[in-house]
Amino acid sequence: MKTCSITPADIKKKWLIVDAAGKPLGRLASEVARVLRGKHKPDFVPHLDCGDNVIVTNASHVILTGNKPNKKVYYDHSGYIGGIKAIVAKDLLAQHPERVIEFAVKGMLPKNKLARQMMKNLRVYAGSDHQHSAQQPEAMAPRLAQGDK
């Protein structure tokens, strides 16, 4: 008996939507990363982008637990001497709430070309409005939609 491996032509991508309002950042990001990677599908292969497209709405209402809003720092370096910039999570959430979720999801994906391709399947919006209604997105898995209790 031969082992059947899927090809890029066999991959069927769906559009999923998740509401980030009231959800902890890490739990939300791990579920989104799992779906982007395709690990929720029975025909998952690690060398192909077999995950779905994910739309995250209400990014500005995501929850950072504990003292993370004041203590968590995001760094960026220009490559030049003294070119480091730092911003606290509370300020980044106020200015660019989409980036907080993008950074969290990106950190949970593998560090290779495939992860950069998977990140193109993620769309994050600060509010509840999005421009992907033509794709007819479905609600994400029930365990994330109900929230963690």
What was the pLDDT predicted at 25? 96
**Banded pLDDT at 145 (limits 50, 70, 90):** very low
The mean predicted confidence, pLDDT, of the chain is 92
| Residue 72 counted as domain residue | no
Split into its structural domains, the chain has a count of 1
pLDDT at 27 > cutoff 80:
yes
Q: Which alpha helices (DSSP H) does 18-67 contain, by range? A: 25-37
Write down the pTM of the prediction: 0.89
Q: Return the CATH number at 27.
A: 3.90.1180.10
Nearby residues of 13 by Cβ (< 8 Å), 6 or more positions away: 51, 52, 53, 121
Q: Which domain holds residue 135?
A: 13-63+94-143
In a domain, 69, yes or no: no
99 lies in some domain: yes
| Percentages (nearest 5) of helix, strand, coil residues in the chain | 35, 20, 45
Check residue 2 and give its pLDDT: 85
Residue 122 has pLDDT above 80, yes or no: yes
